[in-house]
Amino acid sequence: MNYILLGPPGAGKGTQAKKIVEYFAIVHLSTGDMFREAKKSNEALSKFLSSGQLVPDEIVINMIKERLEKDDIKKGFLFDGFPRTIKQTEELEIILKSKNLKIDAVFLINIYFEEVIKRITGRRVCECGTSYNIGMIPSKEDGKCDRCGRKLIQRNDDKEDVAKERFTVYGKQTKPLIGYYKKIGLLVNIEGAKDEKDVFEQIKRHIKAKNDK
């Protein structure tokens, strides 16, 4: 069971990824999370993330290559936020082929611009990894994490101007992947402007149908 979650920033990839990996007991591979962790000690990375630009392909591909060396990926994995360019897509194919692995489906979370901006600018996150949304999925106590009580913060790249830039970058560099995966029969369209449970049900239904055959 190896999958890719594709979709614009704020589509709900991270939210769905957590549910999918927990339910199906597979490994979550989020390049965004990996870069947010790495940027703490890497000034150059920080610049790409806070401006809404993509990290150069070579850096991304090397990081993924290294990650796929770990044994845990044998359980199955879910890419969240990777690949994001045609170059990354082609390189991923080469890496997987060399390991005798393949992608079973690419879930495209479809969502429109206004909803994305609303979700991103309303997002508040906790260091423990929990994500909230001030308009749609609020914490019980304002500004505090329900799970660990720490203070919630806004990601640097969630300010409106950077969020809009990320959406533009998605349109130019990542959207072409839709045609690529459609052509090879892996693309599965998911209606993203529904509540979290509903979106998860759509993905779960597809995975179960394929694996129950």
Question: Annotated catalytic sites, by residue?
Answer: 13, 84, 123, 155, 166
Q: Which is nearer to ligand AP5, 205 or 211 (CB)?
A: 205
Among positions 60-79, residues that touch ligand AP5 (CB under 6 A) are: 60
3-state secondary structure of 140: coil
Nearer to ligand AP5, 43 or 212 (CB): 43
Query: Rule CB under 6 A: is residue 6 a binding residue for ligand AP5?
Result: no
Q: Which residue is nearest to ligand AP5 (CB)?
A: 32
- Identify residues 158-197 at the interface with ligand AP5 (CB under 6 A): 166, 195-196
What is the SS3 string spanning 22-45?
HHHCCEEEEHHHHHHHHHHHCHHH
Q: Taking CB under 6 A as the rule, does residue 52 contact ligand AP5?
A: yes
Instruction: Enumerate the β-bridge partners of residue 106.
Output: 4, 187
**What's the min distance (Å) between Cβ of 212 and ligand AP5?**
26
CA distance 60 to 82: 9
**Exposure string for 168-184, b = 16+ CB within 10 A, e = fewer:** ebbeebbeebbeebeee
Q: Which of 59, 51, 52, 42 is nearest to 8 (CA)?
A: 52
List the interface residues with ligand AP5, window 98-157 (CB under 6 A): 119-120, 122-123, 131-133, 136-137, 157
